[in-house]
Structure formats: C-alpha cells, structure tokens
Amino acid sequence: MDWVIWHKPTCSTSRWVLAALREAGIQPEVRDYIAAPPSEGEVRDALAVLGIGARGLIRRKGTPFVELGLGDPGLSDDALIAAMAAHPILIERPVVFAPHGAVLCRPKERVHDLIARNGAGVAR
C-alpha cells in the first residue's frame, strides 16, 4: 500500500498532517474524503488496519451525530459504518495509511510515529 491521507482541506489539523508528510519527503495520495466518500467496505477496511471499532472513528463535533441518534450505545458497528459512508463528515480526520499500518492523527503528532515506523523521513 502506498501512502494515502483521508484529508479535509478546510481542517487545520488535516493540513498540518499533510504538511508533515510532505516535509518528511512523502507525497501521499490525497483523498478529500468529503468529495470522494469511502464506501462501507473501505470504512471497514480502515477500521481493521487502524485496529479500532467504529465508535473510535466517529466525529461528533460539527456533524449530524446527535441528529442521527448515533450516541445510542445499542447501535452496532454496522449501523455506524453505514452512517459514516452515507455522511462522510462523521469520519474523524485525518486518517493516514502507510505501507506498514495506519493512524488516526488525533493528536496530529501521531503522524510522526507512523513516519518513523515506515522508515520514512525523520521522526520528531
């Protein structure tokens, strides 16, 4: 797998992470995940490589999280994944995929661990 970032251009954290990747000499595929939303299958694959459950990838702030009733603890991962695919703004950002792993960059500095783990750039 090549380097890919699920990016939202208006998000300062996402822009910071993209700049850190480029500063490390990495030219990732930049996927504006709002304009080109991941499918349910891609969300599932992302969760598997991230090693987290669906609730770990859901963004609450500035999204229809409350309106959609996604805080209901009885909702399955399948229901949450379907909601993220239908409303990509619900996906926390940025997510960076690398040849050896992936990371949700919250906090943003987590990208440096991924860079180091993949033998690219200089970790900070």
d(CA 40, CA 26): 27
d(CA 16, CA 21): 9
C-beta atoms surrounding 8 within 10 Å: 20
d(CA 14, CA 108): 8
Q: Please tell me which residue in 1, 7, 11, 53 is annotated as part of the active site.
A: 11
CA distances from 60 to 2, 13, 84, 89, 124 (A): 29, 16, 11, 9, 29
11 is catalytic: yes
Q: Answer for the pair 123, 113: CB distance below 8 angstroms, yes or no.
A: yes
Active site residues: 11
